[in-house]
Structures are given as structure tokens and as C-alpha cells.
Structure 1
């Protein structure tokens, strides 16, 4: 069968993905080309075998993705490139016939070529040196012709090199090539903010391409060397599969000499290959013509310093004939299997596994500058956030994946720990106002690379780049997107680069969840808004900060919740699809306005927009628990933990929810599991102490709370629980001592009045308990909203003042 579909077929390398490709129906006519069958698909479009009705010949017709050429200036630029490609009239280059637009469909027409790709050919083993030299000379001649026309391929790889039945090499997919232009020849119609998606397949890319420098003809020389290396040894020059490590090897390490991998490789061929693979362009052949001279010398009898035995040389001379006969037989079999398109299924039997869950591992900071970590982490967060909008896909949350930052565990092991089908990994490099994102998708069970991409663009278009990466992954895993989700994944907004970097720094410190970190993040978010008042993400971050400051009792809720409301509403005014802003607004509505019905609606809207936002599920669970909807609350916190399985917070909060559901044994078991993840996580000790107290295990409760006090450095978050446990155990003097400490602290800084009310309730002083509950009510204490379900308040429930408090809090009756 013709394997022209390899023109755009994905390999383990990097291609370009813009948007989903259109699907012309079989039999449809575009211009004067009748569509016969689809023979390939990839990031730059879908390839069909078509029939030219005018010239009565079959052609390969590549339909470009919608949006690839968004307007007439873009088509004009592409037409100019297509004209350059059409000039490449060489027997070893697939000829470009036409470029046209019909019915809003842009397409490129190529020569249709039966044959097999070099990639398929190499799947059967390495090639004899004489054949490597012969094919290499054809490649060098074709590149010489293209370079004379000012065209660089930039994506040479075995999958783009086709060998016809008669052994003729054909270079496919010059559609990624760009005209070599000097800065004075830049297209004046090009938009300065136009996103540039870097072309090329990572394992074959020259170091200068990875560094973002201009690719010239010597970049093709490097890629040619990588192809020859693989033909001679059966593996790539740098066989690493972990993307950041692969990039580092290409940039900084030398390949193993081919002769060490295959003893039949002559010193002459080894020298040619290694010269092609020079790290710097100046170290390589300076033209394809020079490469051709050395390959020709290698193939000339008596001129190559080969050390092979005569028997091997005879076999090598017979091998091309043998291979041609095998190839002819294989093609005949494939032609016979063509009925019912079985041939297509046979040639593409691997397919993509069914993927329902994935984890995005922390993207590597390729700058190697620690001060740039915030940017790499921010790109990781953005990719997680975009993919999380897909309801049919379970995406692991940030906290769990960040545990693997700078960890080199095998991917199958990580996948098992996170319980996912696939893993996304990659790297990011930001330089001035340019950013490059490299990502790859791996089938976890098989440890098999499914897809790899590289995207590069102006920092102003970073949201577009992030959107493109997420769309590409969604397309690759064949996940079904609802129309609403398709809309959510598309982002065409440009941003202020400086404001966006300030936003990322804010998120970086917000994720630390310390008072110092939160105060720093507030400063960065405010600076981002000053630089760009339309930055919805910064407003959402600001709202998140204020909510956490209130929730952690680091600032009075009555002071910061109104600020959270203003920021969240502004974020949603700018972008109503931000799940984070809906979540923070829900917290404000629930905790400050005490409108639990409206609060639940906001949480549900956040989850609808981002079904994988673990924090929304967590806070929704806590809200459901506060009104006594126990089963729903337990189900929601379980979802949150599934999305963030290694998060200490999610694991501990599951025990916290079980506590308020009065399922103490389940809570204790869960909290012990949490401490297995990190025995020093003091909130788990706190919640464990609460549960032991309710079971009457006072010694165990006090021991856990004392441990928490030690680990936290005497946190006021621990004190009320310890004092309550002392009182329940009959150690009232110790409880009073801690109570007095809290009251004194409340004169200097914020102390949640609810915490003091708890201790008075344990000591049996109802009047003081209700007085402090009243202070908690007027101070908008978040903890007070748990009063309906808090077991520690059972001693006050029979009092009419308690029922009145529930009424004023708008909490539903039992």
C-alpha cells in the first residue's frame, strides 16, 4: 500500500498541533480533487488520497487544520511558502502541486508516492553500509537542491523519508520548512504577536533549534546525521525517552560512537555520522554537497577503509536485492488485504490505548535557574487546569504531582502510585518574551510514548500555547469533548507578559500556604493587576489569598472576606469560566453571608466548569457536611482525594469529614494512613486527637494533640483541641491554662472566638460559651458554620440559645 500517510503520521517525536482537523467525506470534491480515502493524520492536518479530475492522476491532499490560516494575510504568507516548495523539482523530493481554499477548507496537494518509510524499513533492523551510503547520497542531493532554493526542511526523520519500490528515496513533508530569511526580509504583514510553533522532532533536532535559534541548512545536516546514525545502529543518537534528559543530552553530551553499537560500521561511516552531529553548526559539513562527496567516497569500491570480511561484503552486496524481493512480496500481501480497509488497520494496529485518567508531572525548568522555578511550576498548573476542564478525564491535582518534582522514578511506578492510565511530562524554557513548551504523553502501563510536541511563541500568547497543548492531548487520547468543553479549551486572548509573570509568582507563593507566602502572593497579584487591570487570573488569585487568610485564621474574616468577594466578582466579570473564582466566591457567600444555598450553587458551578478541581470538591464537601448532608459530603471528599491522592490536605480532610459525620473509626483509619505519607503533618495529629477524644480515649487524644503542638511550634490552631481534651479528661487546670493563653493572645492578634467558646463548653460554662459564640457570629468566624455538626458542642444543643444561633446562621434544622 502507498504509505504517503506517513507525511503527517505521529511518531515519538514532535509535531505541530493547532486544532482539530476537518473531515471531508469520502467522495467529496475540493476544487477539482475527489477525496478517495484518508491515509494519514497529524498535527499539521489530515492527508487523503485524492484523484485529480482534470489531469486524471492520484494525488496526496493535505487538509490544514481550521484556524491554521486564520485570515487572508495568513493565506498569503502560506501561499508564498507553497510557491517556494513548488520550486523544489527534484526526483528525491515529493513534489508540491497546488495550494487552494475551497468552502473555507485550506489544503495543499502533493505527489502521491507508493512505498515504505525509512522508519518502517528500520523496524526490521539496521541497513548494510552500502545501502546507507546510497540512500544518504540521495538525501544529500535532495537537500542540496532545496537549500539552493533557500528552503530548509527542519524536520528530517525516518518517518519523513520514503523508499519507493525501486529503492528511490523521497523526502516528505517539506510543509514544515520555512524560507530562509534575513532580518531585513521579514514579512511586513506578519503580526508581532503571532504564535510561532516550533517545527521539528525532538530526537532529530539540532541543538540550535532546541535553543530557539534560527535553523539553517546545517540544521538539516545534523538531522541527516541522526537519521544515518539510526540506520547504522538501530537506535537514535540519544535514546533517552525522558524529555528533559533527552534535551540535556542533545545540548551537552556526545553520542556513543556508532561502531560501539554495531561492529560492522566502518570508521569512515562513523566519522561521517559524527561530523554531521557536531554540537555547533561550524563543526558540521557546511553544505549537503560536502556530505555527498564523503558518502560517495564511502560507496566507491577500494576507497572506503572498510574492515569487513569478504563474506560480509558479498552479503552486503546481495542484501539490497534480497530486501527488494522481500519488500515486493510484502507489498503484494498488503495489496491483497486491502478489501474492507483491513490493510489500513494492519498498518496501524497499535492505536492509542483507552485513557480515562492522567497526571501532568512537574515540567522541567530548562533554564536551570532556580529563580525561574515559578514559571515552570506555573506552566504545569496551567496545563493541569486546562485538562481538568474535561469531564470524561480524571486529572490528578497539583499537590500530588508536585511530589515528583526532580524525582526520576520510572513512569509506570509513578502511574501506579497516582492510579492513572497515562502521564504527561515535559519541560519549559522562558527567555525574555519568548517561551517554549515541550510535552509528551506516555501510556503508563506499557511505558510507551504516544505523543510528543513542542510549542513556541511570544509570552503574550502564552494562554494560546497552553490551550493548544491541552487540545492536542485531548485529541491524542480520543477523549469525547462536550461542546461546552471544546469552548472552554479554546483560548485566543493575548496578555501582558510582565503582568502574567507577576501572576505566576503570586501563585508560586500562594501554593506554599504559609502566612509569609500568602502575604507575598498578595503583593504579586496586586502588582499584576496594576500592570494589567484586565488580568482575570490575578483577580482570582487575589480572591483565593483572602479566603485562605480567613480560613487559616491568619486575618480576621470580617476584614478579608469582603475583599475576597470584590476580587472574585471582578475576576468573573472578566472571565466567567474561572472555576477558582467561583470557588472563592462560594466560600465568601457561605462563610460570610451565611447563604448556604447560594454558596452550594457556586461550588456546583465551579465543579461544572472544572470537574477535576480538587479544592472545589473539598470545600463543597465541607459545606455539605456543615448542613448535615453527610453521605454527599463523604462522596465529594472521596472525589477530591482521587484527584489529589498524595495531598496531605485531602487525606487529612477526609478524616476531618468522617469526624463530623461521627464515623470515628473510619476517621482514625484514614488519619493513620495520612501519617504514613508524612508523620510530621501536624493537622493529621490534630484531627486524630479529636477522634480519640470522642471515643473516650483521652490519653491517646492528649498524646496526639501534644505531638501536634510540638510539630507546629505551638500553633493556636492546635490549642483549642488540646484544651478541650484536657477538660474532657478531667484535667481542668491545664485546660484553663491554655484558655487564658488564648484570651491573652486575642488582645494582641486575631484568635477565632469559636475556639474559646469550645473550651468553655468543655469546662461546662455555658454562659461564657454562648458569649464567645456570639462574638464568633458577629466576627464572621468560618469555624462557627460547623457548629451544627460539631460533636464538641453537644453540651450546648439543648439550650434555646443554640437553636436561635442555628436559625440566625440560616442552617437547616435536623
Structure 2
């Protein structure tokens, strides 16, 4: 047993002995184990990639999971036994870790209880937070500038990009793709890591790259990672998985990395018959990884009867980098980026910078840096203005190096959206979709942009496609439900709600969309019920307070709205909240005052043009002036919004 194993076992024994004691402190652990505080943090980080506090919490939750399946104890009793006596905290932490509340987890069949879903990042999705995210514990204290506060990008850069987009895109129609236009389908399951935990990034990265190459094929539906991740370690059969994801083929694989030597194996399975079509293996050096990845993708394309044009073949054969060391650092950067924590994003930048230092022409590394800076803005980790400039710089560099880089165009589109440059945002996202038409998140983001400018029926087309590609990702189903609701297609929305409740009923953000389903129909008691469900799942989500107060005011119960208006800090981050509360009270003048303030440099509610909250002022000159101020007073779409 090495020293790391010895330390880990001693730490686990200590936590086990004090499992029911919620006051177990870092100081106690240091004293019992005879280590300094800094050494403790370093050793736990090296062993688990977690902080000490999070490791202890996860240890407690793993014990709770076992007790839920092996005992008849109530959840509150189990929480006390594992040292998390607060029922709300126990439910919240357990749901975050295992994707289901304790009560729901207990009802799950045995084959699903080992599945830990990927973290759902709700802060970056504008659908899920109807006003400025990331408020502190002090009610609505401003932590970062709101989306409408950003100044224009550098004029020279924008002018150059605008000319480029005009030449590239012009007025050509872009054709959206529906489910019927896919002629085959595949899901790539999580690859098994045959190496150490430190090489997990490699197996994840190989799987991601196979998916990225297949994304060039417009006629294949490739299920996104956020949906297939749910099947990691599952006991479900191949036909079961395929039926749930709606695909004909599955791809399984394994990866082993040791130094610059790698061993890969992939297996294509025809799901209904559970029949292996072929198995391909590779053993060699990292420098030949892309050749193998490209070969696998082209072989899959052939099996699925896809015709490859010379342009697509050229894209498939083009390696992101010919420098193996740079490519390895890029895969590490992607691994850290997916965590979306402050530390993870910082580590991602370190790895991506190393990749660029090794290969200055690595376009995808620059595009990923742009994404990191953008996520830092969304999460409130860094100054918005400086990060936005860095994001723009890296996205433009990626496009200069690779004029068909879909990820870079998608990031630029979101930047323009934050500045209310709607025509540029929509056009740039359409370019991203031309180069990567089957990217679920880009289709989803584009649908939200379309909703923002009032094109709700077209928004539904793109969120429908996103949902076909990524059927289990709650963020996308939430957005699709919102699009149906804002379009007034309530019967379709009701059907989505039924399925979404089954899949995502433990995700607190789900109840934003269900609440707005009822708000759009003036069914305020039902909306209140949904908002209160969401608040119970996440009591720390302060935005629920505003919308609960709004709904109560519409129900002739104005006390909560008036109380909040008295207590809200008088700063620009709360202009949106005040406008919503005055809307609930039916005070048109004050509602418009704060919408006007928001348009001049504060915060505005999302989807202002189509929001049901402001119907009572939508025909007034002052409201139209607000829309004009933020570029939403006229259509910004080409005459035919189709992408081909």
C-alpha cells in the first residue's frame, strides 16, 4: 500500500468514526491525522480532486445512498446518521450528487441507482433564470454587471467580422432540420477509462472527438453527451438504451493512456438485435490518435449509408493539431472546462494556454478559451468587461485560423446577444449552425434568441431539433417548454410537461418553465404552486421570491410585492425585479420607469418582447421606446430564416 492509500484509508476511518457528528472540523482532522492544514488540503486534492469539505460531504452522501437502499429509516433519520441533520440541506446535496431527491432515489429500480447525472449548469442558460443570476445571500445584492450593460465590442473587430459574415452568409437561406430529415441515428456511450483516474480526461476526450467528427454529417442524429452520460455504469441492456434515446446504433469504447502510448477499442452495435457490427482497435502513439478517430467516424458513416462529400472528408481528415503534446493539453482543458467551477475554469485556461504555446495555430484551443472566458462571465467569477474582451479576442483568433469553426461563431453570437446586437447575434449563430448543424446546444441557444426577438414559432423548430439530439438534458427540455408556452401552443406544452415532470421533476429550474406555462394563461394559483415547488428544491435561489410575490400580487395579495419593493437595494441590478413587482401590482407608470432605467444601463427581464408580465403596457409608446432602445422593436430576421 502506498502512502496515498494509507492516508486515504486513515481519513476515511476518521470520517466513519465521526459520521453522525456534523461538527467534524478540518482542525480536528489535522490534529487526529497529524498533518498541517495545507498538507491536508493538498493530499485530499491530489487523491480526489475535491476540497476537504466536499470530500467529507460526498463521503456522508455515499453512506446515505446505501442506507436509503438497505434500510427502512426515514430520510430525516438517515440525514442525522450521516451528519447532515438539516433536512433541506440533506435533500439539496443528495439531489445535486445523484440527480434525484432521497425519496425519489428510494423508488428507483436497482439498475438506475448507480447513475450520477452530469451537473446541470443553470446559470449559463438564460431560459432558467428570469433575472440576473448569482445573487449573494444578502437579498439581491449586485455581484456582476447585467447582460444589458455591456458596451460595444471593438469597432474595428466588429466591422471586419461584419464584412466577413456578409460575404460568407449574405442573404442565403438556412434550412433547419427536423427529426424526419435524419436518415440514421447513433449514441456514443461514455468510454471506459482503463488507466488511472488522472487519465480520465483522455477517455472523455477521445469520445468527444469521435462525436465532433460525426457532427459534420448532417443526416445522422448523434445524441449529445449530456444525454448519454446518464448511462455510465448502467445495467440497462443495449436495446433498452437505444429505445430510450431513440437511436438505431450504439458505439461503445475504452481507452488506455500511458505516457505517449495509447490503446483504444471501439465497438459499433446495431441496437435492436444487440449485434456487433464491427470492432476496431488501435495501439500506438498519441500522434496517430486523430487518424484513428477519423477512420472510425468514416467507417461509421459508411455503415450508416452516409455519402461523404470531398469537403466533409477534408474536414474529417483535418486534425485539430498535429502536435501530440498540444492535443493532450487541449483534452485536459476540455475536461476541466466541463466542470464549470471557478477552479476548473482556471485550470482549463492553464491547459489551453499550454496547448497554444505548443501549437500557435490551434484554432479549437482559442475557441475553447473564448468559451472559458464567457463562462467566467456567466458564473460571476471575473469582471465582465475584461472577460468579454478576452472572449472576443480568442473567438476572432479562432475564426482567423479556421474560418469554419462553429464553436467560435457560437460564442461570438452569444456575445452579440449580450450587447443587444440581435441581427449580428442571429446571423453569427446561423453560421455556427451551418458548419455544425447537429450541435444540440447551438440549436437550443438559437431558439432562445429567436424567442427573444418574438419569433416563437421558429424558435420551436430549433428547440425541437435540440431535444431530438439531446433528449435527457433538462436545460433543453426546459427551453423547449418555454418556447411552446410563449408561442401559446399550450396543448403541445402540456404534453412536454408530462414527460418533463417524469424526467426532471427533481430539477428546481424545471419549475420556472412550468410556472410560466400557467402565467401565460393567467392561471396564477397553479403558477404559485409550481414556483413554491422550485423554491422548496432550492431555497437559496432568491429569484423565486420576486416571482412568487408577482404571482401573489396578481392574485390580489399585494403584501409580499410591497414588502420586497421596500427591502430591495436601490441599484441597477434590481431594475428588472422592481419592474416585475410593479407589473404584479398593476402599476404601469412605475413598471415602465424601471424598464426605462434598465434599458439605459441596468437589468431587464428576459424575453421582454414576448413576456406575459408586461402585456398590460405592451401597446404604450413608452414600452415601444424601451424595445427600440434594446434593438427589439422590429424584425431582425432575413426574409426567409432558413439555413442550409
Tell me which residue corresponds to 1:364. 192
Residue 429 (structure 1) shift: 1.1
Residue 671 (structure 1) shift: 3.0
Q: Secondary structure at the match of 1:743?
A: coil
Matched, 1:803 2:587: no
Q: Secondary structure at the match of 1:786?
A: coil
Tell me which residue corresponds to 2:206. 379
Please report the TM-score for the alignment, with normalisation by the length of structure 2: 0.65
Tell me which residue corresponds to 2:579. 757
Residue 712 (structure 1) shift: 2.5
Aligned partner (choices 276, 289, 305) of residue 478 of structure 1:
305
Aligned partner (choices 695, 707, 712) of residue 533 of structure 2:
707
Measure, in 1, the Cα distance between the counterparts of 2:361 and 2:291. 17
Measure, in 2, the Cα distance between the counterparts of 1:537 and 1:374. 17
Residue 614 (structure 1) shift: 0.4
Residue 375 (structure 1) shift: 2.2
Measure, in 2, the Cα distance between the counterparts of 1:775 and 1:532. 47
Residue 553 (structure 1) shift: 6.6
Q: Secondary structure at the match of 1:580?
A: helix
Matched, 1:562 2:389: yes
The C-alpha deviation readout for 1:593-623, integer Å capped at 9, x for no partner, is: x332222222222112112100111011111
Contact 1:690 1:721 in 2 (8 A): no
Matched, 1:660 2:486: yes
Matched, 1:620 2:442: no
Aligned partner (choices 518, 540, 546) of residue 720 of structure 1:
546
Contact 1:682 1:708 in 2 (8 A): yes
The C-alpha deviation readout for 1:106-136, integer Å capped at 9, x for no partner, is: xxxxxxxxxxxxxxxxxxxxxxxxxxxxxxx
Measure, in 2, the Cα distance between the counterparts of 1:459 and 1:742. 56
Residue 443 (structure 1) shift: 0.9
Tell me which residue corresponds to 1:637. 463
Residue 498 (structure 1) shift: 4.6
CA shift in 2, pair 1:586/1:659, >3 Å: same
Aligned partner (choices 521, 524, 533) of residue 698 of structure 1:
524
Tell me which residue corresponds to 1:813. 634
CA shift in 2, pair 1:647/1:739, >3 Å: farther
Contact 2:504 2:510 in 1 (8 A): no
Residue 643 (structure 1) shift: 0.3
Residue 453 (structure 1) shift: 0.8
Q: RMSD of aligned C-alpha atoms?
A: 2.9
- State how 1:64-83 maps to structure 2 within 5 Å: none
Contact 2:576 2:605 in 1 (8 A): yes
CA shift in 2, pair 1:678/1:629, >3 Å: closer
Contact 1:456 1:465 in 2 (8 A): no
Tell me which residue corresponds to 2:27. none
Between structure 1 and structure 2, the one with the greater Rg is 1
Tell me which residue corresponds to 1:278. none
Aligned partner (choices 583, 586, 591) of residue 769 of structure 1:
591
The C-alpha deviation readout for 1:217-273, integer Å capped at 9, x for no partner, is: xxxxxxxxxxxxxxxxxxxxxxxxxxxxxxxxxxxxxxxxxxxxxxxxxxxxxxxxx
CA shift in 2, pair 1:672/1:461, >3 Å: same
* Higher RCO (CA 8 Å, separation ≥ 6 residues): 2
As a proportion of its length, which structure holds more helix? 2
CA shift in 2, pair 1:764/1:517, >3 Å: farther
Aligned partner (choices 603, 610, 618) of residue 789 of structure 1:
610
CA shift in 2, pair 1:672/1:753, >3 Å: farther
Aligned partner (choices 511, 528, 539) of residue 366 of structure 2:
539
Measure, in 2, the Cα distance between the counterparts of 1:808 and 1:518. 34
Gaps of 5+ in 2: 1-181, 636-644
Measure, in 1, the Cα distance between the counterparts of 2:267 and 2:348. 31
Aligned partner (choices 525, 535, 555) of residue 729 of structure 1:
555
Matched, 1:685 2:507: no
Gaps of 5+ in 1: 1-353
Residue 631 (structure 1) shift: 1.8
CA shift in 2, pair 1:460/1:513, >3 Å: same
Aligned partner (choices 402, 414, 418) of residue 241 of structure 2:
414
Measure, in 1, the Cα distance between the counterparts of 2:386 and 2:593. 21
Aligned partner (choices 282, 285, 290) of residue 458 of structure 1:
285
